[in-house]
Amino acid sequence: QSVLTQPPSASGTPGQRVTISCSGGSSNIGSNFVYWYQQLPGTAPKLLIYRNNQRPSGVPDRFSGSKSGTSASLAISGLRSEDEADYFCASWDDSLSGVVFGGGTKLTVL
Amino acid sequence: EVQLVESAGGLVQPGGSLRLSCAVSGFTVSNNYMSWVRQAPGKGLEWVSVIYSGGNTYYADSVKGRFTISRHNSKNTLYLQMNSLRTEDTAVYYCARLHYGDYAPDHWGQGTLVTVSS
C-alpha cells in the first residue's frame, strides 16, 4: 500500500490530453514539493517534473504538473505513442523522514 | 555529467547478506542527501533508506535493523549493506540523489537486481 495514491491505469488516443492524479497528506504533498517520473520498461525512472511544475531541460512542454493542497496532477498533452510508460509521483514525508511514492499509473496510448 | 553506477546484484539465499555499492561522478556524495529505492518485479517504487549530508540515516520499517546505508567520502561512493535477507527483498535496487532542499530523487542509477531465493 503506497503512501501516495495514483490511479493504476490511464489511457488516451494520439493527440489527446490525459491527466494523472496523485493524492497524499499534510506530511508529504501538503508541505513538500511533488516530483513526477516516467519509467519505460526495463529502465530506471526518469525525472519528468520537479518542484510541482518545473521541467528539467530536455523534457517536452507537453508535460506539465500542478499541485493544490494535498493533491497533485500530471498532464500530458498531444499524446504520442512513445508516452506509453509507467508514471510515478513522489514527495518527501516529514513524519517518515523519507521519500514516499505513488503506486504508479500505467499509461496506454490506444 | 552526473552518473550513478550500482554494483552488480545477484542471487542470495534467504538469511544471507549482500553489499551494494553506487559509484558517483559529477557531484559529491557527502554534500548531498542520498537514498536507495527498490522496485519488486512488476511493482511500484519503494523508498528503502536515506543518508543525510550530515550523516544521519533513516530506514523504511520493512528493512530497519537489517539494512545499513553508508558512504565512503574519498571514494565518492554510497553503500547498502543488506543482512538477514528475505524473499520479499527481491527487487531492482536503485541509488538516487535527492534534490537539494526538496529531498526527492533527481538523479538515478541504472539499477541492480537482487534475487533472494533458495
- Compute the average pLDDT of residues B103-113: 96
- Compute the average pLDDT of residues B72-91: 98
pLDDT tens digits, one per residue of B28-78: 999 999 999 999 999 999 999 999 999 999 999 999 999 999 999 999 999
Cα B79 to Cα B20: distance, rounded to the nearest angstrom = 6
By CA distance, what is A35's nearest residue in B? B104
Angle at A20 between CA A16 and CA A55, to 5 degrees: 85
Put simply, the answer to whether B102 touches A104 (Cβ < 8 Å) is no
pLDDT tens digits, one per residue of A37-90: 999 999 999 999 999 999 999 999 999 999 999 999 999 999 999 999 999 999
pLDDT confidence of residue B84: 98
DSSP assigned state of B60: -
pLDDT confidence of residue A12: 97
pLDDT confidence of residue A27: 96
B53 Cβ under 8 Å from any chain A Cβ = no
Put simply, the answer to whether B105 touches A47 (Cβ < 8 Å) is yes
Q: Over 90: is that where the pLDDT of B101 sits?
A: no
pLDDT > 70 fraction of chain B, expressed in percent and rounded = 100
By CA distance, what is B94's nearest residue in A? A44
Tell me the pLDDT band of B116, cut-offs 50, 70 and 90.
Answer: very high
Rg (CA), chain B: 13
- Compute the average pLDDT of residues A16-26: 98
By CA distance, what is A105's nearest residue in B? B44
Q: Which residues contact B92 (CB under 8 A, 6 or more apart)?
A: B9, B38, B39, B111, B112, B113, B114
DSSP assigned state of B7: P
User: A49 to chain B: which residues are within 8 Å by CB?
Assistant: none
Tell me the pLDDT band of A100, cut-offs 50, 70 and 90.
Answer: very high
Tell me the pLDDT band of A1, cut-offs 50, 70 and 90.
Answer: confident
